[in-house]
Amino acid sequence: MFFDGTILLLIPGMLFAFYAQWKVTSTFEKYSKVRTQSGRTGADAAVQLLRAFGAEGVTVEHVPGRLSDHYDPTKRVVRLSDGVYDSNSVAALGVAAHEVGHALQHAKGYMPMRWRWSLLGPANLGSMLAMPMAFIGLIMGRGGLWLLDLAIILFSAAVLFHVVTLPVEFNASARAYRHLTEANITSREEAAMAKKVLDAAALTYLASAAVALLSLLRLVLLRNSRD
């Protein structure tokens, strides 16, 4: 029922997701071994970039974990992980500059970031409820079509969140590459290496969007098969 032939639709997306995760991990590990000429750490670079490009009032903190780096817009904090905060590698500076890119998006009112933030609640709700509702709807047969319809609507919010995330992440990476050289934090060669780390990370966002879109398509096909 919920595990019929339509589940094959998810295989390309899952393979892409596995590849993207391997790519970002291996690329980060590779360029974590390349030290910058300046000797600046990820934390140093983040503080300098925040001041240089107009995100006053944003702080930089250490957060435990591996590649758990993120920007918290509610507290205006850039949080850098174990392998980034104290590291002076080109990979660390690339990740730090990317998270600063999000802080600058927030400071300058970057519209796609606002859209993503407004979609966060509906997306979380859709991700949590859509699949259980769809499963119950399938068990109920034709009487559960309304549940399938509702599941599709809810999950569409999650898909839209993933789609809107793409320009937000790509823009943050573009800012990171540009700002690293403009602020004289890295050489152009070092910035190009950092960009390879960010390009690999971008694949994970593409993979997430692909899996979400394929999952939505599968829900639509399952619903139509019961009509």
Would you kindly state where each structural domain of the chain is located, as residue ranges? Answer: 5-225
Q: Quick one: pLDDT at residue 84?
A: 97
Other C-beta atoms closer than 10 Å to the C-beta of 224 total 9
Point out the residues of the chain with pLDDT beneath 70: 1-3, 227
Q: Coil, strand, or helix at residue 51?
A: helix
The pTM for the full model equals 0.90
Q: Coil, strand, or helix at residue 216?
A: helix
Q: 99, 182, 189, 190: which is the annotated catalytic residue?
A: 99
Residues 6+ apart with CB under 8 A from 80: 42, 43, 46, 60, 61, 62, 63, 69, 92, 95, 96, 99
Alpha helices in the chain (DSSP H): 10-31, 42-52, 82-85, 90-107, 111-140, 145-182, 188-225
- Of the CA atoms within 13 Å of residue 214, those in its CB half-sphere come to 18
CA 18 to chain centre: 15
190 is catalytic: no
Residues 6+ apart with CB under 8 A from 60: 43, 46, 47, 50, 77, 78, 79, 80
Residue 116 burial by Cβ neighbours in a 10 Å radius (0-12, 13-18, 19+) = buried
190-217 CB burial, b ≥16 within 10 A, e <16? bbebbbbbbbbbbbbbbbbbbbbebbbe
Q: pLDDT tens digits for 3-53?
A: 677 888 899 999 999 999 999 999 999 999 999 999 999 999 999 999 999
Q: Quick one: pLDDT at residue 56?
A: 83
Q: In DSSP terms, which residues pair with 79 in a beta bridge?
A: 61, 70
The 3-class SS string of 29-42 reads HHHCCCECCCCCCH
